[in-house]
A and B are shown apart, each in its own frame.
Chain A
Amino acid sequence: MPSVKVENVTKKFGGFTALDKVNINVDDGEYVSIIGPSGCGKTTLLRIIAGIIGDYEGHVYVDGRLFDDKPLEERGIGYVFQNIALFPNMDVGGNVSYSPRAKGLDNSVVRTTTMEMLELMKLRERYHDFPRSLSGGMQQKTALARALASSARLLLLDEPLSLLDLKVRTELRYELRRIVKDLGLTAIHVTHDQEEAMAISDRIIVMRRAQIVEDGTPVDLYLHPKKIFTGYFLGESNIFEGSVAQADEGTALIDLGGLVITARNTGFQTGEKVIVMVRPELIEIGGNISGRVLKKTLEGLFSRLILDVKGMRIVVKQPYSTVAELGEGSSVSIRLPEEHVLVYKHPGRDLYSEISLY
């Protein structure tokens, strides 16, 4: 059963550093997502684990065995590509049976493995169809069946759902997790879609600019990100610059420039410059902060309000029914629960460079 360890891996393409001393550990049976903006190095990391890219510093271990010099066809890894990459010259059956055939297995084994995988992905009727006649979802299912038929225990998924339309993407997301868990596989899933990562993974690794930012369970990363970037990249946040007006035992008053709010004190001094972050869903309606609704939009069963509070813009998300009577221009009062106000040390430089995606 596979576990993956990446140790101090650095990869340069000419003068560009794609990975900078990256360390990750993936346990056996874990479903891990790596997320980050385009160009952060996540795909490079996945390709290094698969053996597609070589010539790097550091080491890759699978199951404790050193993999650095292992040819990619001997790694026993199932790789699913962003652009699907089904062989256009073979039908669905030909694609799915490719791996057992390439390994020189007996015809009977080839046949049973292929049928098993087609059954699993509900593709039996499509056996003789060619890739170009399949929908995007069907194509990616076939690609998944092809990777699984290689009897790989470690699945590497490189943005496998990003080219599919929204509906198919959400459906396939859950199917993917179900299959990985049912078969007891280990999966590393690269994506730039934070919603997908939150829905599908046991653990998320956040990357930015060739480095790991932090990792943790989806809930931890969402509610208590250790880094400002994580909070900014995962979901929507209100982010403000401010300073500590008064630091007491347990609580602190933070001045956001006119608006003073209460937060938990995790060791800040009076006068210290800080960054404050609050999730729009965790802001409550009814409280002692008053403002005016600038804009209201509907997002499914949630309403998204942009409020003007003493010249500051605050985004609030509440169930549709809770804010039904509010319209653009209405006055509203809100509360920022102190346990959900996250306070960070100010990075010193400007906020934009701290959270910008590239």
Chain B
Amino acid sequence: MPAVETGKTSRFREMRRSIIARLDKLSEKKTIAYSLYLSSIIFFLGIILLPSLLGILLKFDTVMNIVSDPELLHRSLTAVFSSIIIAGIVSALDVAAGLPLAWIIARKKYRWLSIVDSLVDFPLIVPTVILGYSTLLLWSEETPFSIIGFNGISPGLITVLLLHFAFSYPVVVRILVGKLMDIEATYEVAARTLGACPFTTARTVTIPMLKSGIITSLILSFARSLSETGATIMVAGSFENGPVFIKKSIDAGMVPPMVFVSLVLIVLSILILAGLRLFGFKLRIPFRKSHRIEAALSSEGVTRIRDLFAIIIFLFLVLLPACYMVLARINSMLSYDLLGKIFTLQGPWSTYGVSVLNSYVIALLTTLINVMFSLPMATIIVRRKLGGFVSRILEALSNTSIIMPSVALGVSLSLFWGTSGASDFILVLLAHLCITYPYMVATTVSVLEDIPVELEEAGRTLGGTPFTVFRSIVLPVAKYSFLSGVILTFTRSVNETGATLAVSKTFKTVSVLLVEWVKSPGMRIEAGAGTMMLMFLSIVLLLIFRYIYTKGGGALA
């Protein structure tokens, strides 16, 4: 620290110190703790759970219009069926292809792999809808692979699969890398000293211990594939899944199909994911004995080919689509005088500036509010504050909005809040809170579960108040897990289009605006430039945030 401090910073410090001291005092009171728990439960029930379910239930009677129309019923059910099949295939492929890459990153055999580690997060920053357009260009309209005789595939089922794989893959890898790092290396070493080759070790020891991580990955990628709307529409062509069908009927002013399809999707996905949770944990990989082929699979040659495959899949099916939109437009963008136009906010760029601001304000508020309310909620769940039974029910219910298609969620929210007279800004904020809430609760729960309760108790016996213990023990220990929860929440909010469009036709977030631009043929260059700007801004913002967080977190403790 510099010896001479300016009056301003020292006053700021004093203020911070006195706020912390006051919070310390407050946290000692039981009533404060319980009112925190109570308000987090009220928030969950009133803002997250009931609005997302009740809106649909209010219009439940319109379902009969569909059931009595055989043609519409058939079309709806086909769309639902497609959604479920795509989500199933994509989540299975995500885990199958993500596990080898997560393995390479977590067990870091080579130093240069830390680059791959940070590249995995990159597609999270790209708005999903841009990924959709990018996918369309890469695999269909302007494929660079024409030089090797590949003329592209027309938009349809295959492009939808490619798109869904690309956006759900990074989340799966993130989760699996974290889980793999949590598994103590001793177990694998123990298996090896007992004579198991690497393949047998993975099959019998590591993967069974990774099961909860794999199930979480499957749930998240399955839900994300079901819920995605904006990007899917771009690459779907005439193909229809649930969200595409819902979007089309909204555009045509039809309410019944969307209520029906949403309802069926919600019920089916809850059933499927509950089944996955229930039976997935009971599933065991039988191990009678090691077969000779397992030693062959462990050989260096096979391992190297597998690693190579994992990296190629990541580079071509995930990273390239994430960047291709910008790469393909780079020439025309250079001649477009981007900076001049953006900074003088000419033409469409004034709308762009406002929408970026909208997105970041919404994302920031969403993250802050969710951090605030998910922390007491996670404490209730993990520390069983309201008894084991209530905790378990709350945990199950907290996942509801993540397994709900975002377009269905949006429909529900707009029906629920539609008559409230709230401004569009508030409606969009509420929608984003719903969509990101489970991410934050889930990461916080896993953070708290990893911190032994003894550590917290030790802090308390040494004289720390609950708040002191939290900021000086819990937060530093779990600093990076919190960070990834915050990043997932923030980027998800910036990416979101489906629910945003469902609750407001006038409020424009940047993702919504970019969708519009990409759809109008005259605005393609602007769309590319806008994406590049957004990616650049988001990366800078995340880096600054990371810096302040790591620095400030230390000072707080």
Chain A residues within 8 Å of B, Cβ to Cβ: 50-52, 71-79, 81, 83, 85, 87-89, 94, 98-99, 101-105, 107, 110, 146-147, 150
Contact = CB atoms under 8 A, between A and B. Distances in A.
A87 B193 contact: no
B181 interface: no
Contacts of B192: 52, 71-73
Interface in B266-317: 287-292
A72 B193 contact: yes
A109 to B, nearest CB: 10
A77 B197 CA distance: 14
B194 A147 contact: yes
B479 to A, nearest CB: 24
A102 B200 contact: yes
Interface string B177-215: 000000010110111111111001000110011000000
A107 B288 contact: yes
Contacts of B288: 101, 107
Contact of B289 (A74, A81, A87, A110): A110
Nearest to B187: A85
Given A98-B191, A102-B195, 14 more contacts: A50-B193, A73-B195, A77-B193, A81-B190, A87-B204, A94-B287, A98-B196, A99-B194, A99-B196, A102-B200, A102-B289, A102-B290, A103-B195, A103-B290
Contacts of B196: 73, 98-99, 102
B292 A104 contact: yes
A102 B193 contact: no
Given A85-B184, A104-B292, A105-B289, A79 B190 contact: yes
Closest 8 CB pairs of A and B: A102-B196, A99-B194, A79-B193, A89-B208, A85-B186, A85-B190, A104-B290, A101-B289
28 contacts: A52-B192, A72-B193, A73-B196, A77-B193, A78-B193, A79-B190, A81-B186, A81-B190, A83-B186, A85-B184, A85-B190, A87-B190, A87-B205, A98-B191, A98-B196, A99-B194, A101-B289, A102-B194, A102-B196, A102-B289, A103-B195, A103-B290, A104-B290, A104-B291, A110-B289, A147-B194, A150-B194, A150-B195
A76 B194 CA distance: 8
A102 B196 CA distance: 5
A79 B184 CA distance: 16
A73 B291 contact: no
A78 B193 CA distance: 7
Nearest to A158: B186
A89 B209 contact: yes
A125 B289 CA distance: 23
Nearest to B208: A89
Considering residues B287, B291, B292, which has the most beta carbons from chain A within 10 angstroms of its beta carbon?
A: B287
Contacts of A75: 193
Nearest to B284: A89
A119 to B, nearest CB: 19
Nearest to B294: A104
A102 B186 CA distance: 17
B204 A102 contact: yes
Contacts of B190: 79, 81, 85, 87
A77 B195 CA distance: 9
B151 to A, nearest CB: 48
B189 A98 contact: no
Contacts of A94: 287
Given A85-B187, A104-B290, A98 B209 contact: no
Nearest to B190: A85
Contacts of A104: 289-292
Contacts of A101: 287-290
A207 B374 CA distance: 51
Nearest to A156: B193
Contacts of B292: 104
Nearest to B207: A89
Interface in B366-384: none
Contacts of B191: 87, 98, 102
Interface in B205-248: 205, 208-209
A100 to B, nearest CB: 8
Nearest to A105: B289
Nearest to A146: B194
B195 A99 contact: yes
A75 B193 CA distance: 8
Interface in B14-30: none
Nearest to B198: A73
Contacts of A79: 189-190, 193
A52 B189 contact: yes
B294 to A, nearest CB: 8
A89 B283 CA distance: 12
A73 B197 CA distance: 6
A52 B195 contact: no
Contacts of A146: 194
Contacts of A98: 191, 194, 196, 204
B437 to A, nearest CB: 32
A102 B200 CA distance: 7
Contacts of B193: 50-52, 72-73, 75, 77-79, 147, 150
A79 B200 CA distance: 18
A77 B289 CA distance: 20
Contacts of B287: 94, 101
A83 B290 CA distance: 26
Contacts of A110: 289
A96 to B, nearest CB: 10
Nearest to A47: B189
B13 to A, nearest CB: 37
Contacts of A85: 184, 186-187, 189-190
A105 B195 CA distance: 11
Given A102-B204, A102-B290, A104-B291, A88 B209 contact: yes
B290 A87 contact: no
Nearest to A53: B189
Nearest to B287: A101
Q: Which one of B187, B195, B197, B287 has the highest number of Cβ atoms from chain A below 10 Å of its Cβ?
A: B195
Nearest to A72: B192
Nearest to B197: A73
A74 B209 CA distance: 24
Contacts of B208: 89
Contacts of B204: 87, 98, 102
A105 B194 CA distance: 13
A98 B190 CA distance: 10
A107 B288 CA distance: 8
A73 B187 CA distance: 13
Nearest to A94: B287
B542 to A, nearest CB: 30
B269 to A, nearest CB: 29
Contacts of A102: 191, 194-197, 200, 204, 289-290
A15 B191 CA distance: 30
Counting chain B CB atoms within 10 Å of each CB, the highest count among A50, A76, A102, A147 belongs to: A102
A71 B197 CA distance: 9
A266 B186 CA distance: 49
Interface string B539-555: 00000000000000000
A107 B187 contact: no
B202 to A, nearest CB: 12
Residue from A73, A74, A83 having most chain B Cβ neighbours under 10 A: A73
Contacts of B186: 81, 83, 85
Q: For B194, B204, B290, which residue has the most chain A Cβ atoms within 10 angstroms?
A: B194
Contacts of B205: 87, 89
* B187, B192, B291 interface centre (most CB from chain A within 10 Å): B192
Given A102-B200, A102-B204, A107 B194 contact: no
Contacts of A150: 193-195
Q: Which of A79, A94, A104, A147 has the most CB of B within 10 A?
A: A104
A104 B292 CA distance: 8
